[in-house]
Structure 1
Amino acid sequence: MNTHTVKTVEFQNLGWMSAGHLYLPPDFDPARQYAAIVSTHPIGSCKEQTSGSVYGAALARAGMIVLAFDASFQGESGGAPRWLEDPALRVSDIRFAVDYLQSLSYVDAQRIGAIGICGGGGYTIQAAMTDHRIRALASITGVNFGRLMREGFSQFQPLAALQAIAQQRSAEAAGADRLEQDLLPASPQAAQQAGIQDVDVLQATEYYKTPRGQAANGQTRNLMSFNGAAVAWDAFQFAEQFLTQPLLVVAGDQPGGFGAYRDAHEIYGRAASRDKQLLIVPDCSHYDLYDQPEAVAQVLEQMLPFFRRHLAAESAR
């Protein structure tokens, strides 16, 4: 049985190299030209998790080339300090990933699409607004990280959070150690002991902190002193003007604290795209869409024909 293959690659970013996995279709022929997809991982994740091993692999098996990559300052990509999560730089990463795909002789530069999962979905939406080399995109349980920072991640006190960030950054400028924050409890047991009830936090912990989804580079951490950049950032700003490409928005029907269900409806309503689809997967949570076979199958049932249609050779010319 033919299957996809995975090639380890790196590509130039601003002043460092980005690390990626290039998923190649079965019976890959370098003399041909293929449609290609940039796959952007969630916040705290890495290319070895859902963006690559689940969705990258599935799209490759369907005949497309997929680049799943590590965010700058994270995973195997370069950049310092480590574990920085800056939305503007995460969006910039996607542009460099498109640059790399365009440099490959076997990629049709007119047939490049993009997907993103969780925070990566929000980043992909923002990237597509100002980089129209992205011809079609899908947001899978996408989250607007700026909204999340202003709300749940700051305990709905963004000004207080900004003051704390300013104090920490001042301390670090004076020589204090960087403060690395883990975004999740250490284990499902720790989450239960802490009395956490939110389905997204509980299931995120079960995904990232157990063998189900655990990966060496998926560290679920960031630098507290650099979080201020996200507080005044909005993944959906200007969507009514600039998000014109075909758009597929996916979320589960079980809302959680990270807000993907709410964000899905918002961006679907706001996007200027004439061709847009909203898929609400029944009996499904945010993290079911990361790797659970039945949930992923329902996404692929809509996503594969979506990209085949919009990245077909005749529709891209």
Structure 2
Amino acid sequence: MKTISFKNKTVDVAANMFYPDNFNESQKYPVIICAHPVGGVKEQTAEIYAQSLSKRGFITVALDASYQGDSGGMPRYLEDPYIRVEDFRACIDYLNTVGYIDSDKIVLLGICGAGGYVVNAAIIDHRINAVIGISAVNVGDMFRLGWHGNEDNLQHQRQMLKDLANIMTLEANGSNQQFMPWAPFNPDDVQSSDLCSAYEYYRTDRAQHANAPSQGILTSSAKLLSYDAFYMADRYLTQPLLLIAGNRAESLWHSEKLINQAGSDIKELFLIDKAGHVDLYDLPQYVNPALEKITSFLQKYL
């Protein structure tokens, strides 16, 4: 593994690059960029996939989003979907300067909210040759429709934008910045098996990390509410697309929507039996089948 960094505009993006066994710098290798969930950091599930896939012959990169983890940028914990997408494109710029990277075999892999961001990146950047979403979530749809996808309340959404506008004005005049949790602070506060699992993952010894408080700037919600990671996927998402989700995940509706919407001739939704949303982050009985599927898919279509 080698620590690297590259620029996204003025921000230094931190990443770890993993190499296959018997790496030979004179050869060309396919590369997989692995992106962490909203509220996470590279050392969590993104690196589980990155390390495992590097042992299968790929060079892999796990990066921290701008304003998060070891990456630079102020204010901290900003969640800007457009900047997240530009992180990937800046990473591709960097990789195209590396002699042992096969620029015709660049793959994006995103988990949870990053599973939507990598799709958005592939829609606009066709240097990306294949896309993989693990428990993929379109974060804009999540804000508009709720975790289960059944809470479309336009009046509530409009009121949210008004409330956020007031908060932005207060913060501009010196009020303390407000934050929102990405994972619950108390599992008893939510009626969702997926979100209870998110609490266990981010806020217990299972996977908690000092760089990942699983919170974001509250006013980011205004931009997220109007964002659609799948916009124009029917027209411009033409690369091979693999979506992997648990058949018990309450977030499965995102993957089902995208698999129907995507313009790709090669697209597949692979369901893992008995798995929930967060199970695919780190539990070997669910991650290992996902890794096998990713490997076979890329060997066939990349």
Map of 2:121 onto structure 1: 127
CA distance in 2: counterparts of 1:128 and 1:245, whole angstroms: 8
8 Å Cα contact 1:130-1:242 kept in structure 2:
yes
Q: For 2:61, what is the secondary structure of its paired residue?
A: strand
Gaps of 5+ in 2: none
TM-score by length of 1: 0.91
Task: Provide Cα deviations, 1:181-238, integer angstroms capped at 9, x if missing partner.
Answer: 222333xxx323x3x3311110000001111111121221110122211111101110
CA distance in 1: counterparts of 2:184 and 2:61, whole angstroms: 30
Q: 1:218 aligns with which of 201, 212, 221?
A: 212
Q: For 2:102, what is the secondary structure of its paired residue?
A: strand
CA distance in 1: counterparts of 2:199 and 2:50, whole angstroms: 23
Map of 1:38 onto structure 2: 33
Q: 1:25 aligns with which of 5, 20, 38?
A: 20
CA distance in 1: counterparts of 2:90 and 2:60, whole angstroms: 14
Letter in 2 for 1:87: P
Map of 1:168 onto structure 2: 167
CA distance in 2: counterparts of 1:142 and 1:75, whole angstroms: 21
Q: For 2:131, what is the secondary structure of its paired residue?
A: strand
Task: Provide Cα deviations, 1:78-130, integer angstroms capped at 9, x if missing partner.
Answer: 11111110111111111111111111111111111110000000000010011
8 Å Cα contact 1:151-1:158 kept in structure 2:
no
2:286 corresponds to 1:290: no
CA distance in 1: counterparts of 2:121 and 2:11, whole angstroms: 20
> How far 1:133 sits from its partner (Å)?
0.5
Q: 2:236 aligns with which of 233, 237, 242?
A: 242
Q: For 1:227, what is the secondary structure of its paired residue?
A: helix
> How far 1:155 sits from its partner (Å)?
8.7
2:67 corresponds to 1:73: yes
Map of 1:314 onto structure 2: none
Q: For 1:203, what is the secondary structure of its paired residue?
A: helix
Map of 1:315 onto structure 2: none
2:298 corresponds to 1:307: yes
CA distance in 1: counterparts of 2:124 and 2:76, whole angstroms: 27
Letter in 1 for 2:215: R
8 Å Cα contact 2:184-2:198 kept in structure 1:
no
2:256 corresponds to 1:265: yes
CA distance in 2: counterparts of 1:161 and 1:32, whole angstroms: 53
**4+ aligned runs moved over 3 Å, structure 1:** 153-156
Map of 1:100 onto structure 2: 94
Gaps of 5+ in 1: 1-5, 312-317
Map of 2:224 onto structure 1: 230
CA distance in 2: counterparts of 1:255 and 1:31, whole angstroms: 43
8 Å Cα contact 1:86-1:227 kept in structure 2:
no
CA distance in 1: counterparts of 2:16 and 2:301, whole angstroms: 24
Task: Provide Cα deviations, 1:47-67, integer angstroms capped at 9, x if missing partner.
Answer: 001011x11011100010111
CA distance in 2: counterparts of 1:39 and 1:158, whole angstroms: 32
Q: For 2:129, what is the secondary structure of its paired residue?
A: strand
RMSD over aligned Cα atoms: 1.4
Q: 2:187 aligns with which of 188, 191, 199?
A: 191
Letter in 2 for 1:274: D
Letter in 1 for 2:161: L
Letter in 1 for 2:284: P
Q: For 1:8, what is the secondary structure of its paired residue?
A: strand
- Percent of residue pairs bearing the same amino acid type: 37
Map of 2:83 onto structure 1: 89
Letter in 2 for 1:237: Y
CA distance in 2: counterparts of 1:184 and 1:128, whole angstroms: 27
TM-score by length of 2: 0.95
Letter in 1 for 2:282: D
